[in-house]
A and B are shown apart, each in its own frame.
Chain A
């Protein structure tokens, strides 16, 4: 008679990625580099926020770099490179998220120790990127006023795994009849106590507050 046996495994499915990401995070921390992973749906304004962030940091003589994930095209990388900072495109060719080894390979020949900030612009997607740790210290979820206030309820996991939420395109809030309180209530429902910053990359609204937040997080990282 056939007798099946049970082998206990009890292992995380994404163990390989998790272990690499943990090692990368430890190395980034040792080098004093604050790594920020930007996640949102396509068209929320990740590139616009990053463009303005990098422009201001470069102007302040702060050393930054970025890697940008996209299914196809290097359009976003070209926009970010206008800041003068090193930028590298990761073309995923259909893959819906970035994984830790992709980031590792694309920054392999950079002297990461010279950087103060490394930004990772993930593939525009509200589901898939949330499962993959990229070795970041901060995961920022973006929500634009044009998307609807209920995005956090529709995609709770993305907001739940993020450290901070940035509301973008606030200059369009009135035109879109954006209900700010409902959006905040929804964010707090899926991620109680999440830090929220309201911005407009186009008008410069909230960017100083956002950059102050990044500086504080880096100061905390290097004091640890």
Chain B
């Protein structure tokens, strides 16, 4: 049940990234989880909900992007996606290879937030204060993983 420790770390990392955005509500956290990282989805969701209670991340959704293992095959001189994690052989030419290029990820990719002002009634233009506490838009969509 190491998912409890992982959930704890997710919350720590996310909180550090949200320090400059006190008035934001966190909608979701997008993770990239490699096939070799040994994380059980259900256990992670369960642990996260448990630990996120009473933190600014309470109610946030975990969105998990599963990444398959990608190896470099020296015979084909190409990157190859493996169908599983039990046979590290090139699916095209059957050459054994342990040169892993993807699949060990355990990362927070992005956090989706909304300004709390937005989620309630927006104040009139005259009442709008400085925008320093509003969430900066970095990008609208997270980029797809490139192999």
Contacts and interface: CB of A to CB of B under 8 A. Distances in A.
B65 to A, nearest CB: 12
Interface in B70-100: 85-89, 96-98, 100
A153 interface: yes
Interface stretch (A3-11, A20-28, A113-121): A3-11
A193 B31 CA distance: 31
A6 B31 contact: no
A60 B22 CA distance: 60
Nearest to A193: B98
B49 interface: no
Given A4-B27, A189-B87, A192-B96, A10 B112 contact: no
A189 to B, nearest CB: 5
Contacts of B53: none
B101 interface: no
Interface of B: 1-2, 5-6, 9-10, 12-14, 17-18, 21, 27, 31, 36-39, 85-89, 96-98, 100, 106-115, 118-119, 135-142
30 contacts: A2-B114, A4-B112, A5-B115, A6-B137, A6-B138, A7-B18, A7-B138, A8-B110, A8-B142, A9-B110, A10-B109, A11-B107, A13-B10, A13-B106, A14-B6, A15-B9, A16-B9, A96-B1, A96-B2, A128-B1, A130-B38, A131-B39, A156-B86, A157-B36, A157-B38, A160-B98, A160-B100, A161-B36, A190-B85, A190-B87
Given A9-B109, A157-B36, 8 more contacts: A7-B135, A11-B107, A11-B108, A13-B10, A16-B13, A131-B38, A132-B2, A160-B88
